[in-house]
Chains A and B, each alone.
Chain A
Amino acid sequence: MSTTTGAHGKVIGLPYVRVEGRDKVTGAARYAGEVPFPGLAHGWLVLSTIARGRVRSLDTAPVLDMPGVLAVLHHGNALPVDISWVDPQLGPPDATLGVFQHDRVPYAGWPVALVVAETSEQAREAAEALKVDYDQESHDVDLSYDHPGVYPLVGPLRPATEEKGDLAAELAASDVVVEAEYTTGQGHHNPMEPHAVTARWEGERLEVLDSNQGSPFVAGALAQVFSLEPTAVRVRTEHVGGAFGSKSQARTHHVAAAMAARILDRPVRVVLTRRQMFSLTGYRSATIQRIRLGANPEGKLRAVEHRSLCQTSTTYEYVEASTMMTRMMYDADAHHTANLAVRLDVPTPGFMRAPGEAPGSFALECAMDELAEKCGIDPIELRLRNEPERGPISGREYSARNVVACFREGARRFGWAERDPRPGVRREGRWLLGTGTAAATYPMHVMPSSASVTANADATFTVRIAASDLGTGARTALTLAAADALEVAPERVRVEIGDTAFGFAMVAAASAGTRSWVFAIRKAVAQLREQLSQGAAVPPEGVTVMANTFAEAGALHHDDKERHTYGAQFAEVAVDPATGEVRVRRMLGMFAAGQIINPLTARSQLIGGMTWGISMALHEEAALDEATGSLVGADFAGYHISAHADVPAVEADWVDDPDPGDPVGVKGIGEIGNVGAAAAIANAVWHATGVRHRHLPIRPDRVLLAAPSA
Chain B
Amino acid sequence: MAPATSSSVTLNINGEKHTLSVDHRTTLLDALRERLDLTGSKKGCDQGQCGACTVLLDGRRAVSCLQLAVAAEGREITTIEGLSEDGRLHPVQQAFLDLDGYQCGYCTPGQICSAVAVIEEHAAGWPSAVTDDVRPEAQPAPLSAEEIRERMSGNLCRCGAYVAIVEAVAQAAATVAEQAGTEEATAA
Contact = CB atoms under 8 A, between A and B. Distances in A.
Interface of A: 17-18, 20-31, 33-34, 36, 119-121, 125, 189-194, 239-244, 271, 273-274, 470-473, 600-601, 603-605, 607-612, 615, 635-637, 641-645, 647, 649-650
Contacts of B112: 25
The interface centre, meaning the residue of B49, B100, B155 with most chain A CB atoms within 10 A of its CB, is: B100
A471 B163 contact: no
A121 B30 contact: yes
Given A607-B164, A608-B103, A649 B45 contact: no
Given A119-B23, A121-B25, A121-B26, A644 B162 contact: yes
B42 interface: yes
B103 A635 contact: no
18 contacts: A17-B97, A18-B97, A25-B97, A27-B40, A31-B106, A120-B30, A121-B23, A192-B159, A193-B44, A242-B158, A274-B47, A471-B104, A603-B100, A604-B100, A604-B164, A608-B160, A611-B160, A644-B157
Interface in B91-124: 93-94, 96-98, 100, 102-109, 112
A471 B41 contact: no
B33 interface: yes
A274 B46 contact: yes
Contacts of B148: 644
Nearest to B80: A27
A635 B150 contact: no
The interface centre, meaning the residue of B44, B83, B160 with most chain A CB atoms within 10 A of its CB, is: B160
B160 A612 contact: yes
B103 A637 contact: no
A30 B162 CA distance: 22
A471 B97 contact: no
B180 interface: no
A125 B23 CA distance: 12
Nearest to A196: B43
Contacts of A273: 46
Interface of B: 23, 25-26, 30, 33-34, 37-47, 49-50, 52, 79-81, 83-84, 89, 93-94, 96-98, 100, 102-109, 112, 145, 148-150, 152-153, 155-166
Contacts of B106: 31, 191-193, 241-242, 471
- Main secondary structure on B side of the interface with A: loop
Given A26-B84, A193-B42, A242 B104 contact: yes
Given A25-B97, A649-B145, A635 B162 contact: no
The interface centre, meaning the residue of A18, A119, A609, A645 with most chain B CB atoms within 10 A of its CB, is: A645
A25 B89 contact: yes
Nearest to B107: A192
A314 to B, nearest CB: 29
Nearest to A124: B25
A642 B100 contact: no
Contact of A25 (B30, B96, B162, B164): B96
A601 B103 CA distance: 8
A642 B156 CA distance: 8
Nearest to A23: B105
Contacts of B40: 26-28
B150 A636 contact: no
Contacts of B105: 20, 23-25, 29, 239, 241, 471
Nearest to A273: B46
B25 A34 contact: no
Contacts of A34: 33, 39
Contacts of A21: 97, 100, 102
The interface centre, meaning the residue of A191, A636, A644 with most chain B CB atoms within 10 A of its CB, is: A644
A647 B146 CA distance: 10
A192 B157 contact: yes
Nearest to A603: B100
